[in-house]
A and B are shown apart, each in its own frame.
Chain A
Amino acid sequence: MTIPSTVTLSYREALRSAIREALGADERVFLMGEDVGAYGGCFGVSKGLLDEFGPERIRDTPLSESAFVGAGIGAAMGGMRPIVEVMTVNFCLLALDQIMNNAATITHMSGGQFAIPLVIRMTTGAGRQVAAQHSHSLEGWLAHIPGLKLLAPATLADARGMLAPALADPNPVLIFEHGSLYNVEGELAADAAAVEIDRAAIRRPGGDVTLITYGGTVSTALAAADQLAGDGVEAEVIDLRVLRPLDDATVIESVARTRRAVIVDEGWRSGSLAAELSARITEQAFYELDAPTARVCSAEVPMPYARHLEQAALPQPDTVVAAVTRILGVSG
């Protein structure tokens, strides 16, 4: 019996490793997007891949999200397995017509004649002082659209393991990489491989309250849970992983045990994923609740540039702890 060895790497490197593996495993796979080739990707994810795989498979595109996302859809319809990188979720709005009216609908409108095995990766989230046109979390908008699958890898294992099943899926899959995670380093099994992309994961077990979150705020929720543990409150932390379709079962099972839920979502509160989760909890677990479901979201402002204002606008461990303490009431 051998002890599996581990490697130390960053989230960025885990993503690159997954892309490299996909390119090597299937010649139909190629990567395209703005600056993914010579520059190595705006966030350095594809650095070195151009040298390794050549310009046919690592393709720099013009600055036209609508054009290159549309090209990706066409390639997928034609039998390829494209990985399209959109620099940030804010810019995907330029390609929203392609994403919603084509990628999400063509399988349906063609009576199943065309599959769209397309993967679109994009950076999301704030915290890096890149201001109001590069920092928003619009996953909730895209999670509204039937026909799409949305993934939010928050761990090295998911960064490494979600791409392969996403490419294997015959439908378009959007992968949201939180910008604050690229430099996060950790240990990953050397033989880390594909992961399932259907279920939420409990990142920390607890019996007093369920913190539901995803992506960049998983670490926020875990930090809050550590702080709460010091006060004798055991918080369970759920990493949604899959933003559409939502894994109701894991969420409801947890809330039914802890009887209280706090949703931590970097999106704006109004019309958000947090709103959707809160509604589902009320619909499916009303009679299990000991307190109203609380939400910790970003302030409803365009994301500020100034560091102190940006931090104040984002969910923080302290605001999560405060929300938990509030719904726990006088006994908390």
Chain B
Amino acid sequence: MPSLGADMEFGTVLQWLVKPGDAVKRGDIVAVVDTSKAEIDVEIFEDGVIDELLVTEGTRVPVGTVVATLRAAAGKPPSAPGEPSSSPAPPLALQPAPAAAPRLTQAAVRAAPPHRLRASPVARRAAEQLGVDLDTVTGSGLDGAITKADVERAAARPPGAASPSPSLPPAPARSAPPSAAVAPPDDRQAAMRQAIGALMARSKREIPHYYLDSQIDMSASLDWLREENLRRSVTTRLLPSVLLLRAVAVAVAATPAFNGFWLDGAFRPADQVHLGVAISLRGGGLIAPALHDADRLTLDELMAGLRDLVQRARTGRLRSSEMSDPTITVTNLGEQGVDLVHGVIYPPQVALIGFGAIRERPWARDGMIGARPIVRASLAADHRASDGHAGGRLLALIDRHLQNPEAR
């Protein structure tokens, strides 16, 4: 069961889209999984042949449970010893990569970058007994390992500071077998609030946020957009938010200290810019799936991607890679009339960029005051990974791109 976001602890296999013997290729959707937030299409990240489905549809299992096994497909060296030879691979519609290592492999999709929690054996046992989520505990032992005393301190924290709070059921044991998993909460909304709450509490507890904001004159961007949209049919018109997204994506690509993950006490920059877009869901809650390689997309591709993402987030289904990949998140609360966003970073990301409403405001320029469309862009960043100087540069870059909307 892949982790489809840092706040996911369980997933329910709603539907298998493959059966044993099916050949699959990297990127194929093999299952639909219900997190407490959404139904997600789970992609596979290895070529091969489905060997066995280990979890039946409708079963809820903890993240990390093996849900299926995958066999390496044809093309393996016939001399490979110790290879299971049962159920020969059926003819493949798609040729697997011949270089694929012939081995049994877990059909787990690539989740967030691997992160092995260091906790002592007695600390793990204490965490289970006290209902403490080890992810929320800072270790003080050998090489930063979590000790029993750390867990007991965490358990003794006042409600609100601790996860979970006493009114919630204890955190499920990481090692709990599937059947021992706590029953799915009847109220999906409550489950989502719980998940968001746990993650945001972790963010506020662990991440030393700093905040910067600047006001950006949107005249150039909106003028250009007006001209551009005049030439377009109604269905292909661009929204101002796409310009904001692209400005962020391009600026972030040039300032890697904001793009990546804080893991195991160190910042791991990401190679690509996968822009998480915060999307509020009908009935409450939010989700922040990724626009992959957002800095390389044209405005049209970004527009199409955003439209698709919003629609699928609200009505349809998201893909697992979209859930686990975001390297930085953008939230735009302008529609609600918000002026300024003070963001909460989505762990293990290290920055969140917020936009308020674009409003006409008195604006002095060249000694004259005029009315101009202004947006307040804000940055919430992890002070462990970057400093305010770099943050200021990021906001300045966003501003610069918005002054030259036609430039790539």
Contact = CB atoms under 8 A, between A and B. Distances in A.
Nearest to A292: B142
A329 B140 contact: yes
Contact of A329 (B124, B142, B148): B142
B125 A331 contact: no
Interface in A184-220: none
A330 B141 contact: yes
Given A259-B147, A259-B148, A329-B145, A290 B140 contact: no
Interface string A275-303: 00000000000111111100000000000
B327 to A, nearest CB: 30
Contacts of A326: 142
Contacts of A331: 140-141, 147, 149
B122 interface: yes
A295 to B, nearest CB: 15
A290 B125 contact: no
Q: How large is the interface on B (under 10, 10 to 19, 20 to 34, 35 or more residues)?
A: 10 to 19
Nearest to B123: A290
Q: Could you say which of A286, A327, A330 has the most chain B C-beta atoms within 10 Å of its C-beta?
A: A330
Most buried by A among B125, B142, B145, B147: B142
A225 B143 CA distance: 23
A321 to B, nearest CB: 15
A270 to B, nearest CB: 23
Interface centre among B121, B123, B144, B149 (most CB of A within 10 A): B121
A328 interface: yes
Interface in A317-332: 326-331
Nearest to A326: B142
Interface in B129-150: 139-145, 147-149
B106 interface: no
A329 B122 contact: no
Contacts of A259: 120, 122, 147-148
Contacts of B140: 329-331
Contact of B147 (A286, A287, A291, A292): A291
Interface in B109-126: 120-125
B122 A330 contact: no
A287 B141 contact: no
Contacts of A286: 121
Contacts of B123: 290
Contact of B143 (A287, A288, A289, A329): A329
Nearest to A259: B122
A138 to B, nearest CB: 32
A326 B125 CA distance: 23
A292 B140 CA distance: 14
A291 B120 contact: yes
Contacts of B148: 259, 290
B198 to A, nearest CB: 26
Contacts of B145: 290-291, 329
- A: contact size bracket: 10 to 19
Contact of B122 (A287, A292, A327, A328): A287
A330 B150 CA distance: 12
A132 B349 CA distance: 59
Interface in B285-325: none
A255 to B, nearest CB: 10
Contacts of B124: 287
A331 B147 CA distance: 10
A91 to B, nearest CB: 41
Contacts of B149: 290, 331
B251 to A, nearest CB: 37
Contacts of B142: 291-292, 326-329
B121 A288 contact: yes
Contact of A328 (B125, B139, B141, B144): B141
Contacts of B122: 259, 287-290
A228 to B, nearest CB: 16
A285 to B, nearest CB: 9
A92 to B, nearest CB: 39
A196 B245 CA distance: 79
A289 B123 CA distance: 8
A331 B138 CA distance: 11
Nearest to A289: B121
Interface centre among A288, A328, A329, A330 (most CB of B within 10 A): A329
Contacts of A328: 141-142
A130 to B, nearest CB: 38
A288 B147 CA distance: 10
Contacts of A289: 120-122
A328 B147 CA distance: 9
B154 to A, nearest CB: 14
A292 B122 CA distance: 11
Interface of A: 259, 286-292, 326-331
Given A292-B142, A327-B142, 15 more contacts: A259-B148, A287-B121, A287-B122, A289-B120, A289-B122, A290-B120, A291-B120, A291-B142, A326-B142, A328-B141, A329-B140, A329-B143, A329-B144, A331-B140, A331-B141
17 contacts: A259-B122, A259-B148, A287-B125, A288-B121, A290-B148, A291-B145, A292-B142, A326-B142, A327-B141, A327-B142, A328-B142, A329-B139, A329-B140, A329-B142, A329-B143, A329-B144, A329-B147
Interface of B: 120-125, 139-145, 147-149
Which 9 A-B residue pairs are closest in the complex by CB-CB distance? A331-B140, A329-B141, A329-B142, A290-B120, A290-B147, A287-B121, A291-B142, A288-B122, A289-B121
